[in-house]
Amino acid sequence: MRKMKEHGIETGIHYKPIHSMKFYQTNSVLKNTERVANRIVSLPIHPNLSNDDVTKIIKFTNKFS
């Protein structure tokens, strides 16, 4: 996320494991879920992206993944 931001690409974290949310929180340890959750980011996707923006996002996603 930091590297993407350095190149002007905002990312976010929109999907957290349900067992970590306050309402559903348990003492469960779901190693695979937590491992994946720590590696997932949301990339920009909206109608205002130009073709150049999409190309840039793809380029840096491939570079940093």
pTM, rounded to two decimals: 0.73
Residue 62 counted as domain residue: no
Q: Is the pLDDT of residue 58 over 90?
A: yes
pLDDT digit string, tens, across residues 4-57: 999 999 999 888 888 888 888 878 888 998 899 888 999 999 999 999 999 999
| Phi, psi torsion values for 46, nearest 5 degrees | -160, 165
What's the total number of domains in the chain? 1
Where does the pLDDT of residue 59 fall: very low under 50, low under 70, confident under 90, or very high at 90 and above?
Answer: very high
First to last CA, the chain: 11
Q: Which residues on adjacent β-strands are paired with residue 12?
A: 42
| Structural domain containing residue 13 | 2-46
Rounded Cα gap, residues 14 and 60, in angstroms = 20
Residue 41 counted as domain residue: yes
Residue where the block lists tokens 């996707």: 45
Quick check: 60 and 4 in contact, CB under 8 A?
A: yes
